[in-house]
Chain A
Amino acid sequence: MQGAGDELKRVDEAVRTQAPDFARLREDFPILARSVHDRPLVYLDNAATSQKPQSVIDCEAHYYRMLNANVHRGVHRLSQEATDAYEGARDTVQRFVNAACREEIVFVRGTTEAINLVANSYGSRFVAGDEIVITHMEHHSNIVPWQLACERSGAVLRVAPVDDHGELELDAFERLLGPRTRLVALTHVSNALGTINPVRELVARAHAHGAAVLLDGAQAVPHLRPDVQALDCDFYAFSGHKLYGPTGIGVLYGKAALLESMPPWQGGGDMIRRVSFDGTTFNDLPYKFEAGTPNMAGAIGLAAAIDYVSRIGFDAIAAHEHALLDHATERARATPGLRLIGTARDKAAILSFVLDDVHAHDVGTILDLHGVAVRTGHHCTMPLMERFGVPATVRASFALYNTRADIDALFEALAHVREVFGDG
């Protein structure tokens, strides 16, 4: 384990001294060569899902061509090879998030399933009067599972407010914590605003009140490498598909002692040790939480994606994306009638905005005809949209393969919105 971590560090070091050529990295992503409405694709919907490098596509194809067999249950050669590859992917994830041991890595469908697992399993011990703290900037998938857990248990959901810049109000957050706080669930990076929350400090504050903390890392992992031991979070959830990996695969990290103490969520094959009609004993971690045939190709593809970004290095990716965000923010501020939603000091590469007199959906349609793919809507954060008094925003989100030219294309296309709608 030590050796692998060292290798990641070494790669990061190598990258710092020699910045990669990001324009050339575009060539690793075959979809970026296609056109949309007879124009080159400008893909700025990365916070919804990112595109996949050839190495990830090849890895999945290789799995189905050469390795496919069910894991953990065959004496035959293929099953052993598939198991080795699947468990190797778990090791890669463990190193990526710096978990203390591989048993702490549970493969799930995605962030949503990871959160639901915790809400159902850890949440099965909530009792009436317990309190769960979330924030106003959570994605629906980090709101609704807790609402359901509250309905089941009689626990109370408390919501920490967000200020006009889209930053969490830390004092108000602190005031919500108390002796009945059982769990704090908050996003590492806001999908709608780009805000990076000071999660290390927030985890410490929650722990001071004896509350466990789940971090929703769906939007964080494409931009920064989480170190779950340094963060000291109890749970960390993320999806593969926003991290240049396949859809349908995600990860729940949980501290071993907590996962050990939690009841299984879904029952089925793989999660048991012995089944009889008199009673069943459950498998060890992490299999206790992996009922049924897992997404083997997905897990292996995710590992390939982690290898890909690790080769480039997160320092280099963050520097590149920050330069893009700065350029985009500057152009946005120079655009008449444009209001940025989310102006936190510490932001990931997400630019959310509204035009004063044109609805986000009309903007989205016009941008699309210019080949520019953005997300328009409420971004699964309806309470947050209400907080900012807008029904929807336009969201451009950047990935390692985006360029300044992509951002210039976005703003040129926005000028055409004015052509269609006039000056208001």
Chain B
Amino acid sequence: MADLRELYQEVIIDHGRRPRNFGPLPDANRHAEGFNPLCGDEIRLHLKTRDGVIEDARFEGAGCAISTASASLMTEALKGRSEADAMALFAGFRTLVTGGHAEQGDVPLGKLAVLAGVTEFPTRVKCATLAWHTLEAALTGRAQPVSTED
């Protein structure tokens, strides 16, 4: 079961079970909701941004280990980043989980790279990207809730 361990790495199990930055964010100024109608995963993302910089990020909701861990790791990675940088990170993350090749000059993914195992599980890619699509909606003011099936 080598590939199973590849998917469910320690970090993912840990963040799936004990998500960081989980809960409301009273002084947030950006919010978005995301929903995966295929499995019922849902996320409410709260961001506090100032001058184009994400100062804080928290989320609520319910989902599988992959979607919860992905949201948890994302909120960790967002803090202190510019909005443009955050979107670049999303692009790099999407490439990672869909099996594309990273390009030179891509934003380093750091800890997010633990989700690379998702590549081998096409049915789970949407679990990993739900939080990120929700982030995009929060930053661009896209119609909500975003759905993985749009």
In the complex, the answer to whether B63 meets A359 with C-beta atoms within 8 Å is yes
**Contact code string B79-118 (vs A, CB < 8 Å = 1, else 0):** 0000000000000000000000000000000000000000
CB within 8 Å for A359 and B64 given contacts A378-B40, A422-B13 = yes
CB within 8 Å for A369 and B13 given contacts A376-B39, A391-B41, A391-B62 = no
The answer to the question of B8 belonging to the interface, with a C-beta cut-off of 8 Å to chain A, is yes
The distance from the CB of B45 to the nearest CB of chain A, in whole angstroms, is: 18
Contacting residues of chain B (120-150) with chain A, CB-CB under 8 angstroms: 121, 123-124, 127
State in angstroms the CA–CA spacing of A360 and B64 once bound together: 7
- Chain A interface residues (CB < 8 Å from chain B): 357-362, 365-366, 369, 376-378, 382, 385, 391-392, 416, 420-422
State in angstroms the CA–CA spacing of A376 and B62 once bound together: 15
CB within 8 Å for A391 and B40 given contacts A365-B7, A369-B1, A422-B13 = yes
Cβ–Cβ < 8 Å partners of B40 in chain A: 377-378, 382, 385, 391-392
The distance from the CB of A340 to the nearest CB of chain B, in whole angstroms, is: 19
CB within 8 Å for A369 and B3 given contacts A420-B8, A421-B13 = yes
In the complex, the answer to whether B1 meets A358 with C-beta atoms within 8 Å is no
Cβ–Cβ < 8 Å partners of B1 in chain A: 369, 416
20 A-B contact pairs sorted by A residue (CB < 8 Å): A359-B64, A359-B65, A361-B39, A361-B64, A361-B124, A361-B127, A362-B8, A362-B16, A365-B123, A366-B4, A366-B8, A377-B39, A382-B40, A385-B40, A391-B39, A391-B40, A391-B41, A416-B1, A420-B4, A420-B13
Cβ–Cβ < 8 Å partners of B63 in chain A: 359, 391
In the complex, the answer to whether A365 meets B124 with C-beta atoms within 8 Å is yes
Is chain A's interface secondary structure helix, strand, loop, or mixed overall?
helix
Contacting residues of chain B (61-86) with chain A, CB-CB under 8 angstroms: 62-66
Total interface residues on B, using CB and 8 Å?
23
Cβ–Cβ < 8 Å partners of A378 in chain B: 39-40
In the complex, the answer to whether A358 meets B41 with C-beta atoms within 8 Å is no
Cβ–Cβ < 8 Å partners of A420 in chain B: 4-5, 8, 13
Cβ–Cβ < 8 Å partners of A358 in chain B: 65
State in angstroms the CA–CA spacing of A232 and B17 once bound together: 52
State in angstroms the CA–CA spacing of A382 and B5 once bound together: 31
CB within 8 Å for A360 and B8 given contacts A369-B1, A420-B13 = no
State in angstroms the CA–CA spacing of A400 and B127 once bound together: 34
Task: For B61, give the chain A residue with the smallest CB separation.
Answer: A391
State in angstroms the CA–CA spacing of A421 and B69 once bound together: 13
State in angstroms the CA–CA spacing of A392 and B64 once bound together: 10
In the complex, the answer to whether B66 meets A362 with C-beta atoms within 8 Å is yes
The distance from the CB of B7 to the nearest CB of chain A, in whole angstroms, is: 7
Q: Which of B5, B38, B42, B65 contacts A362 (CB 8 A)?
A: B65
Q: Which of B7, B39, B123 contacts A360 (CB 8 A)?
A: B39
State in angstroms the CA–CA spacing of A359 and B3 once bound together: 19
In the complex, the answer to whether A369 meets B38 with C-beta atoms within 8 Å is no
Cβ–Cβ < 8 Å partners of B5 in chain A: 420
Task: For B5, give the chain A residue with the smallest CB separation.
Answer: A420
Cβ–Cβ < 8 Å partners of A359 in chain B: 63-65
State in angstroms the CA–CA spacing of A376 and B123 once bound together: 12
State in angstroms the CA–CA spacing of A385 and B40 once bound together: 10
CB within 8 Å for A392 and B39 given contacts A359-B64, A359-B65 = yes
Residue from the set A361, A365, A377 with the largest chain B CB neighbour count within 10 Å: A361
State in angstroms the CA–CA spacing of A357 and B13 once bound together: 11
Known: A362-B65, A377-B39, A416-B4. 13 other contacts (CB 8 A): A359-B64, A360-B39, A361-B64, A361-B124, A362-B16, A369-B3, A376-B39, A377-B40, A378-B39, A391-B41, A421-B13, A421-B17, A422-B13
Cβ–Cβ < 8 Å partners of A365 in chain B: 7, 121, 123-124
Contacting residues of chain B (7-51) with chain A, CB-CB under 8 angstroms: 7-8, 13, 16-17, 38-42
Cβ–Cβ < 8 Å partners of B4 in chain A: 366, 369, 416, 420
Cβ–Cβ < 8 Å partners of B41 in chain A: 361, 391
The distance from the CB of B11 to the nearest CB of chain A, in whole angstroms, is: 13
The distance from the CB of B5 to the nearest CB of chain A, in whole angstroms, is: 8
State in angstroms the CA–CA spacing of A416 and B16 once bound together: 18
Task: For B3, give the chain A residue with the smallest CB separation.
Answer: A369
State in angstroms the CA–CA spacing of A385 and B39 once bound together: 11
Task: For A378, give the chain B residue with the smallest CB separation.
Answer: B40
Cβ–Cβ < 8 Å partners of A392 in chain B: 39-40
Cβ–Cβ < 8 Å partners of B13 in chain A: 420-422
State in angstroms the CA–CA spacing of A420 and B17 once bound together: 12
The distance from the CB of B28 to the nearest CB of chain A, in whole angstroms, is: 24
Residue from the set A358, A359, A366, A385 with the largest chain B CB neighbour count within 10 Å: A359
Task: For A390, give the chain B residue with the smallest CB separation.
Answer: B40
In the complex, the answer to whether B124 meets A357 with C-beta atoms within 8 Å is no
The distance from the CB of B1 to the nearest CB of chain A, in whole angstroms, is: 6
